[in-house]
Structures are given as C-alpha cells and as structure tokens.
Amino acid sequence: MKNYGNGSVNGKIKVDASEGWSVEHKELEYELSGTEEKMLPIKATPSKESSGSSQFTFTAYEGGQIIGSKNINVYVNMMLGESFDQLESALKPAVNENIPSSVLGWSHTAPNGWSVTNSSNMPAGTEEWQGWSFTTKDFWIKAEEQDRNKFELGQGVIAVADPDEWDDNGSPASKGFFDSTLTSPSVKVVGAKDLYLGFASHYKQEGTQTAKVTAVFDNGEKQQVLVYDNKAASDNKNGHVLNKYEVKSIKVPEDASSMKLQWRMHNAKNNWFWSIDDIRMDDQRIVSPNNEKDR
C-alpha cells in the first residue's frame, strides 16, 4: 500500500476473497506517513478444489469512508509463480548510489531455487546494479527516474537489470558489456505439450542492448520465447516496451521432462534497463492482470 499524499493517513483494509478461500485477517489496520509505502501481509488459504484464477477485492477505508478499491487475480496450483516479494527482508541500504542509508531497497540474493549468473567478462560497476538485482520501485526510482516510475504493473519487490545505472560507477561500459542472466527453478514438464508464460515487463531500448527469455529443456533443446533488441522484427520492434504484461506460449519437446526459464540482458553498454515482476507459468492460458486479450 502506498500513500501518494504528503500528509499522514490511517484506516483499514478489508479483504474479500473468492468462494472456497479462507482469509486469516479479513481486516488490516494501516498507518502511513507522507509518500510512505509498506507491505501488508495477508494469509489466504484456497480450498483443495481451487485451481486457476481467483479474484480478491481489497477495499481501503479512512474515517469509515471508502477511499479506494482494487481487484486482483490470484492464481492457484500454477507450475511456476514468482513475485519476488519474499525478498523484502533481504533488502539492504545503498552502497554506491546516493540514497539515504535509512532506505532499505536492494539485494543480489535470489529467491529460493532461482539464480543470477553474470558473465565472467562483465566489468564491475555500480554495486547495486551489478547484474540482475531485486529492489523496490521506490529505491530504483530514487537512483534515477527516467521512466522507471512508469512500471505500474511492478509491485513490492521487483527484479531489475539496469546497465544505465551500472555504468555510473567506474564507467564499466568503457571496458566491456553488461551481461547477466536470471534463471528460474527447474519445472517438471512431463506430459505437457503447450505451456504459457506471463510476466510484467518494463523495458527501454538503446543501441545493441538485447533482452531475451529462453526456455532451456533437460534434453538440451533451447527455445527462444521473447526477444527485445534493435531489430524491427523483434517483440519490441526496436522500441521501448513500458509497463506491459507479456504472455507467450512454449512448445514442449516430446522427450523433455523438465525445463528452466532464463531472462538474459546482454550486449549492453551505458544503455537503459529491463525490469520484470509477477511471473506465472502454467499449462493453462495465462490471463494478464489488466484483462487485456492475450496474444
């Protein structure tokens, strides 16, 4: 929850879940100072019969009056799901960025089962952005705005690859390229034919900078799922892709039993950035949070 005003506010949040769910705390009290943002934990348990998408409604009250309401789709029993919000307790203060030490906002510690691999040829730059990082939007925007604030689909902790900020300490782009890969846990795909991947994406293109999502199967096959670069035929058509929920399909080879997904940002100098959040994969079609028609 975020307070977009300058004055302090307090009230309560009421949580309404879909039928079959039980919610431990249906009402949560909040108090926020000016522009403050904080996480409000909610424990919700689906029924054994729940599957696919369920809708939660969050209503905010102040002084007994409704000040806002939002519907959120929650997915159950997916093959892979990650929001990065579990990393909130691992966030640290700035090292190279000029951000007050009271602001805890970044980490290189990946979620359990995930990994970040930087190329051995990647020069050292700004510590906070040395490869894929996990950060809050507030911390990322404080580093520099430049459209970073427009990632509305990203909530809580997000994953960021930022060659632009990386190059601000020691000019590493004069020595080599930014090249970092975020890899998911292994997912069993035995018996699956078609899989669907959805994730929130916020990307700015410049130069030879290239961003790819690749499915890597245990039989050695690799399948390119998405590519952003400076070519007109790519998913971004040599342009920016700001605040979009990407939905892609993946064909599973007959002899594959497991698969990992890789998000790689490479061929980048002092260019721009790529941020992702709300990753979902399943053998059922993924529906974007803003209910746009899937491609």
Asked if pLDDT for residue 294 goes beyond 50, the answer is: no
269, 178 Cβ separation under 8 angstroms: yes
The pLDDT score that the predictor gives to residue 292 is 42
Going from N- to C-terminal start, the domains of the chain cover 9-77, 81-282
Residue-level pLDDT at 151: 97
pLDDT of residue 293: 39
Classify residue 147 as left (phi > 0), alpha (psi -120 to 50) or beta.
left
Tens-digit pLDDT profile for residues 17-56: 988 898 988 899 999 999 888 888 888 888 877 766 788 8
What is the model's pLDDT at position 112?
A: 95
Specify which residues 117 forms β-bridges with.
181
Average confidence (pLDDT) over 257-261? 98
CATH of 81-282, picked from 3.90.79.10, 3.40.50.970, 3.90.550.10, 2.60.120.200, is 2.60.120.200
C-beta of residue 181 within 8 angstroms of C-beta of residue 263:
yes
Compute the distance between CA of residue 159 and CA of residue 121 in angstroms, rounded to an integer: 22
* 291, pLDDT greater than 70: no
Q: How confident is the model at residue 4 (pLDDT cuts 50, 70, 90)?
A: confident
Please state which of the ranges 12-21, 35-44, 250-259 shows the lowest mean pLDDT.
35-44
Residue 207 has a CB neighbour count (10 Å cut-off) of: 14
- Which among 145, 185, 186 is positioned nearest to 162, based on CA atoms? 145
Cβ-contact 160, 129 below 8 angstroms = yes
pLDDT (tens digit, 9 = 90+) per residue, 146-181? 999 999 999 899 999 999 999 999 999 999 999 999
**Per-residue pLDDT for 222 more than 80?**
yes
- Judge contact between 245 and 155, C-beta under 8 A: no
**62-109: pLDDT as tens digits:** 988 999 898 877 777 789 999 999 999 999 999 999 999 988 999 999
Q: Which residues contact 166 (CB under 8 A, 6 or more apart)?
A: 125, 126, 129, 130, 172, 173, 178
